[in-house]
Amino acid sequence: MTQNSQNSNNSATENTLDNDGVLNKNVGIGENHGLTQLAEAQARIATLEDEFLRFRAESENQRRRIMKDGENARKFATEKLLQELLPVADTLMRGLEVAKSDKATIEHLIEGKEATLRMLAKALENNGVKEINPMGEVFNPDLHQAMTVQPAGEGVAPNTVTAVFQRGYLLNERLLRPALVVVSQS
């Protein structure tokens, strides 16, 4: 004894009765829909795994680029300064050659040294180095190092720099080397 298919608005499967009157549930629309959802989820997982692997590879590449850029920055940080110092070295070598020749005069040597010193000062200035020459200024312990003190002479205020043994330097407003000075004492 067989019964026709019973379709219900609430059921997504097809139910039938066999010859013994036992209800059989056949694979229907609902189970097909579940398989479709599973396939879609698996495809989404595969897509996410692919995106994750690409992201991880890109992150690793970026990390390597940053490391290489940092290494190059350290290696070549002084390149600009050195390019400006090379002409100074060239001028010193030429001056030495001239000094060894029979044509050298004191005037030529002085002129060459002054030109070389101007080139060096310009190279330092272009790279953020500023000279500290505090002659006649009030002693500043942040910029000057007192090597000795001497009694203040006539017209010299106490705590004034009266002589400079060695000039100091700032690098971008940070002390590179203090000026070595003599300071007047009251």
* Tokens at 134, concatenated: 């505090």
pTM score, whole prediction? 0.60
17, burial (CB in 10 Å: exposed 0-12, middle 13-18, buried 19+): middle
Q: How many whole angstroms separate alpha carbon 11 and alpha carbon 33?
A: 13
| DSSP bridge pairs for 90 | none
pLDDT exceeds 50 at position 6: no
Interval 24-43 mean pLDDT: 74
pLDDT of residue 26: 52
Task: Name residue 51's amino acid.
Answer: E
Q: Which is more confident, 1 or 145? A: 145
- Bridge-based pairing of strands 129-132 and 174-177 is unpaired
* Tokens at 186, concatenated: 């009251």
Name the pLDDT band for 24 (thresholds 50, 70, 90). Answer: low
Lowest model confidence (mean pLDDT) among 6-15, 110-119, 136-145, 165-174: 6-15
HSE, CB side, 13 Å, CA atoms: give it for residue 180: 3
DSSP conformational letter for 160: B
Q: How many whole angstroms separate alpha carbon 108 and alpha carbon 126?
A: 27
Interval 26-46 mean pLDDT: 79
Q: How many whole angstroms separate alpha carbon 123 and alpha carbon 82?
A: 9
Q: Mean pLDDT across the chain, nearest whole number?
A: 85
* Tokens at 72, concatenated: 């190059």
CA 113 to chain centre: 38
Lowest model confidence (mean pLDDT) among 33-42, 125-134, 167-176: 33-42
**CATH class of the region 130-186:** mainly beta
What are the tens digits of pLDDT across the range 85-142? 999 999 999 888 888 888 888 888 898 899 999 999 999 999 999 999 999 999 999 9
Confirm if 117 and 152 have CB atoms less than 8 A apart. Answer: no
